[in-house]
Structure 1
Amino acid sequence: MTITFDNSYSRLPEQFHARTDPTPVANPTFIGMNDGLARRLGLDLDWLRGPEGLAMMSGNRVPDGAAPLAQAYAGHQFGGFVPQLGDGRAVLLGEVIAPDGARFDIQLKGAGPTPFSRRGDGRAWVGPVIREYIVSEAMAALGVPTTRALAAVRTGEDILRDMRHRPGAVLTRVAASHIRVGTFQFFAARGDSSSVDLLCNHLIERHYPDCTTPLDLLRAIVRAQAELIAAWMSFGFIHGVMNTDNMAVSGETIDYGPCAFMDGYHPQTTFSSIDRNGRYAYGAQPQMAVWNLAQLATSLVPLMGDQDSAIEQATEAVNGFVDHYQAAWLRRFGAKIGLSHPTIDDVPLIQELLNIMAADQADFTRVFSGLRRNTESAWAEFTSVGPFEDWLDKWHERLRDAANPQAIMASANPLRIPRNHQVEAAIVAAEAKDYAPFDRLNAALHAPYSETDDFADMELAPRSDERVMRTFCGT
């Protein structure tokens, strides 16, 4: 089989990337393969599952037509600017055009050192690969824009992490693109306005064809990010490391490092082992998105004509995030309590429920999935039932004139999410080459809104001894 590549990013000038091949591995074997995504891309499953497909997805063979490269970018990491980061452990093989005409990157993550590795080994171990595979595919099933996982491969080699030798792995990641806020910053920090302009034109052609100017582009990216962050919030998702190099300007969720879904709800919840001050806590994510977008705007201002006017227009565009986000948040959280057309007057009702949940640290997913089933199920998630009982009276009064509230809640409130303890169990088993928990968890998350007895145990909150409160990047 020949994969038909059309590598538009590799046609950009050499300052955008470094040509580099993946580093071969010793003894690759499959951990998992995403058949549905392979069909979406128009790829032949038999070939992918065969020796040549395995060789490609482990980095042992570069297929004809590929143009392997590591992308250059910069980024603010926890507020501190690093002028050169880049793909330190990922190689973009190329781009494919799906049968419906959509363009996708195919990237190997954990494919060995690149010119941007900064003394790192360029490898990934099984844990982060399994986490990204499970969580990114769960996000896709929830309907959240995200990068995808095509395959996970064990390399047959061990790598050193946390003073332990861990099994190596490679993730084949699929994305609408891998262009980040930090990609713009890389060139802007060097005063290279011509490259920023080239990147704008590339991005407009690839993702935002209705835009004609850098200001149009900025406004479109702001809207896309507002929708994305509202989606995260509605499912209790915490990205964990919202650096500017981890914000994809396509509007997809990217870079699942120390990410997690909340169990007990509280706005200040963090899981990332490196987020010691709560910069990227659950409740801080909208503000951090605005912060990141302001860095993007700063990179685009030199292209926008008169600088005083450009700064004013760019500031207005970034500040527009608030209205877009609030509308998206209200639409999503309104649906979670059964409202098809929520209004601003419904915000106090939604916020009151969240405040009651925070006071009890009630399970985020189970409270809302309980509401879609029956109030008794939701009630069971609270230790102090009085405030929730008062809220239920107000809610029932609000639903009196609502149309099909149960159907609306059933489409907005998943029964199953990739809970930390379940992901951790899959990782521990996979280290020992037992992939059954990984396969079962993926199957449970494939249709997260569907009622089924087959995965009833996957709906349960963790016991106190099962809770996983810290997650790690794996680099």
Structure 2
Amino acid sequence: MEQLSSKIYKKEFVEAFAGDDSGTLTPRQTPGVFYSKAKPTPVEKVTLLAWSEELAKELGIARPTEQQDVDILGGNRVTDSMYPYAACYAGHQFGNWAGQLGDGRAITLGEWEAPDGKTWELQLKGAGLTPYSRRADGRAVLRSSVREYLMSEAMHYLGIPTTRALSLVSTGEPVLRDMFYNGNAAYEPGAIVMRVAPSFLRFGNFEMLNARKEVDNLRQLVDWTISRYYPHITGENKVIDWFKEVVDRTARLMVEWMRVGFVHGVMNTDNMSILGLTIDYGPYSFVDNYDPNFTPNTTDLPGRRYAFGKQPSIGYWNLGALAGALLPLADKDQLVATLETFKDVYWTEYYAMMGRKLGLDQVSQLDRDLISQFEKTLADIQPDMTIFYQLLIDLPLSVENEDEVAEHFQKALYDDLTPEQKTALYTLISHYLERLNTNKIKRSASQDMMRKANPRFVLRNYLLHQAIEGLEKGDDALLVKLQEAIKEPYSNKFDEFFQTRPGWASEKAGCSMLSCSS
């Protein structure tokens, strides 16, 4: 285990590409460069609030015991071998071209080589101004930082590709935020997350170079990305082969989000990882009541572009934007044909995933019809998604009537069922039980499959809100408990959280809807 302060950091990205080495933090356009040097702005006092022990062990990083190491986590210290920088990228935001964006409040310190030889970028979020901060301050508040820290790790333990989070620190300084962009700005405690990933490259990195017609730079970035992160891809057609793998990874990521009911909230192309990771945790949420039209992002209203049920189609749309950025390097027809494979990959993987959620031995065309019936009925009744599938695992193999079915799922319901809804649920469950009776695997094997596919604990927004309120009062008890609960999402060890969203949380700010600054 090595200390953060004594490590010799790699800086292969900045050594491979042209950058602005001036260190000037004045917001500006930076044509011709991939990044700009950006030293973190010191804060009053860095205090360690949370630390991901398992991730630290995997990376070979010793828990900070000296203030000099804690200071690195808050940007108050940069070692001699680090080269802090902010990346330059562009993006489509809510479907509209936004031009240059870049790391406005994220600063990469360097690349950490783990004991297994893998290299990880260490990045501070909320460490101050960069040339890409535009009109913002480059800071992050405790509220948003707790959310990113916990959810990054929660998604990892759910088995979903994601960036990770190593630490959460407070800065000792207040940060002014207008939480809902409604003119009611207020000071909140400042905080910084150190997040970790093999790479934070986004679709927007490639879009930026294409938009500026920097074809040589675009080719250099694509070649470097393939050789570093997709080394098995070679040959004359490698750009298309690589794009195909990005399409596949993105499709599978969308399936995983749908499996657990995760809603990203702001699927702009600058928030899409080139490695197929979940990246940039802002106004996200898990679905409570099953509503395909649910969006947790106030900025996404009223269009609901990034609603739960629309995420796969947005993933496809974003891949189309990436394909457009690659036009100078590959044949248009091949790019379009490769993009179109998204649909087959997604639906094949989706139905296989739903088969596991339902405990089916295989998924036939008739089973696809059953899955569609589940989607339609759940959207009508809107039970709690997580609890409904848990109750489905222990469903008796025979049910007598509508009342018996409704009683079995009572714990998942937010509202009393109408007579029509009772009938629809009973019909669905009757069809499902008929199908289970044809399973060629034992009931116990079917249930084991379901337990592995359906989380019992998800990190709900109201729990995060309560943990944040506690921290703001100096009480970290719930934060500590949630940090343990996220590690065992498929067990019943933390059944104190196995309940529907409480009524008070339905309309409370920070529990139901959030803004992009969240």
Which position in structure 1 is the counterpart of 2:427?
390
How big is each residue's C-alpha offset from its partner over 1:96-126, in whole Å with a ceiling of 9 and x where there is no partner?
1222222211100001000111021100000
What SS does structure 1 have at the residue aligned with 2:298? coil
Structure-1 separation of matches of 2:367 and 2:215: 46
> Which residue, 3, 7, 16 being the options, matches 2:11?
7
Give the deviation of 1:196 after TM superposition.
0.8
Which position in structure 1 is the counterpart of 2:66?
50
Which position in structure 1 is the counterpart of 2:182?
none
What SS does structure 2 have at the residue aligned with 1:451? coil
Structure-2 separation of matches of 1:205 and 1:440: 41
Q: Would you say 1:206 and 2:228 are equivalent positions? A: yes
Residues 16-31 of structure 1: pairs in structure 2 closer than 5 A:
16-31=34-49
Structure-2 separation of matches of 1:371 and 1:100: 41
Structure-2 separation of matches of 1:62 and 1:445: 31
> Which residue, 209, 217, 241 being the options, matches 1:187?
209
What SS does structure 2 have at the residue aligned with 1:303? coil
Q: Would you say 1:311 and 2:342 are equivalent positions? A: no
> Which residue, 443, 459, 471 being the options, matches 2:514?
471
How big is each residue's C-alpha offset from its partner over 1:207-245, in whole Å with a ceiling of 9 and x where there is no partner?
211223211111110000000000001111110000000
How big is each residue's C-alpha offset from its partner over 1:294-313, in whole Å with a ceiling of 9 and x where there is no partner?
11111111112xxxxx1111
Residues 91-170 of structure 1: pairs in structure 2 closer than 5 A:
91-162=107-178, 163-170=185-192
Residues 30-49 of structure 1: pairs in structure 2 closer than 5 A:
30-45=48-63, 48-49=64-65
> Which residue, 371, 377, 387 being the options, matches 1:366?
387
- Residue 412 of structure 2 aligns with an amino acid whose one-letter code is E
What SS does structure 2 have at the residue aligned with 1:274? helix
Structure-2 separation of matches of 1:224 and 1:465: 38
- Residue 450 of structure 1 aligns with an amino acid whose one-letter code is S
What SS does structure 1 have at the residue aligned with 2:109? strand
Structure-2 separation of matches of 1:5 and 1:36: 21
Which position in structure 1 is the counterpart of 2:371?
350
Q: Would you say 1:271 and 2:289 are equivalent positions? A: no
Aligned 8 A contact 1:260 1:471 in 2? no
Give the deviation of 1:340 after TM superposition.
4.4
How big is each residue's C-alpha offset from its partner over 1:428-473, in whole Å with a ceiling of 9 and x where there is no partner?
1122222111111121121100122xx2221111122122320223
Aligned 8 A contact 2:106 2:126 in 1? yes
Which position in structure 2 is the counterpart of 1:326?
347
What SS does structure 1 have at the residue aligned with 2:78? coil
Bigger drift between 388-397 and 139-148 goes to: 388-397
Bigger drift between 86-95 and 99-108 goes to: 99-108
Bigger drift between 152-161 and 421-430 goes to: 421-430
Which position in structure 2 is the counterpart of 1:63?
79
Which position in structure 2 is the counterpart of 1:341?
362
Aligned 8 A contact 1:379 1:385 in 2? no
Q: Would you say 1:412 and 2:453 are equivalent positions? A: yes
Aligned 8 A contact 2:387 2:411 in 1? no
What SS does structure 2 have at the residue aligned with 1:284? helix
> Which residue, 83, 102, 122 being the options, matches 2:99?
83
Give the deviation of 1:92 after TM superposition.
0.3
Structure-2 separation of matches of 1:421 and 1:340: 36
User: Could you say if the C-alpha distance between residues 333 and 379 of structure 1 is closer, same or farther in structure 2, counting changes exceeding 3 Å?
Assistant: farther
| TM-score with structure 2 setting the length | 0.88
Aligned 8 A contact 1:127 1:474 in 2? no
Aligned 8 A contact 1:29 1:54 in 2? yes
> Which residue, 227, 250, 259 being the options, matches 2:284?
259
Which position in structure 1 is the counterpart of 2:400?
none
Which position in structure 2 is the counterpart of 1:307?
none
Give the deviation of 1:248 after TM superposition.
0.6
> Which residue, 166, 178, 202 being the options, matches 2:200?
178
Structure-2 separation of matches of 1:156 and 1:344: 58
Structure-1 separation of matches of 2:368 and 2:48: 47
- Residue 366 of structure 1 aligns with an amino acid whose one-letter code is I
- Residue 460 of structure 1 aligns with an amino acid whose one-letter code is Q
Structure-1 separation of matches of 2:65 and 2:347: 45
Which position in structure 1 is the counterpart of 2:271?
246
What SS does structure 2 have at the residue aligned with 1:31? strand
User: Could you say if the C-alpha distance between residues 268 and 49 of structure 1 is closer, same or farther in structure 2, counting changes exceeding 3 Å?
Assistant: farther
Bigger drift between 114-123 and 377-386 goes to: 377-386
* Higher alpha-carbon Rg: 2
Which position in structure 1 is the counterpart of 2:27?
none
User: Could you say if the C-alpha distance between residues 409 and 49 of structure 1 is closer, same or farther in structure 2, counting changes exceeding 3 Å?
Assistant: farther
Aligned 8 A contact 1:72 1:85 in 2? yes
Bigger drift between 92-101 and 235-244 goes to: 92-101
Give the deviation of 1:3 after TM superposition.
1.9
What SS does structure 2 have at the residue aligned with 1:388? helix
User: Could you say if the C-alpha distance between residues 333 and 96 of structure 1 is closer, same or farther in structure 2, counting changes exceeding 3 Å?
Assistant: same
Structure-2 separation of matches of 1:42 and 1:338: 39
Percent of counterpart pairs with the same letter?
A: 38
What SS does structure 2 have at the residue aligned with 1:32? strand
How big is each residue's C-alpha offset from its partner over 1:415-434, in whole Å with a ceiling of 9 and x where there is no partner?
10011111111111122222
Residue segments in structure 1 that go unaligned for 5+ positions in a row: 305-309
Structure-1 separation of matches of 2:127 and 2:98: 23
Q: CA RMSD in A?
A: 1.4
Residue segments in structure 2 that go unaligned for 5+ positions in a row: 20-32, 179-184, 397-406
Aligned 8 A contact 1:211 1:217 in 2? yes
Structure-2 separation of matches of 1:402 and 1:281: 37
- Residue 504 of structure 2 aligns with an amino acid whose one-letter code is D
- Residue 338 of structure 2 aligns with an amino acid whose one-letter code is A
Structure-2 separation of matches of 1:81 and 1:138: 32
Aligned 8 A contact 2:412 2:500 in 1? no
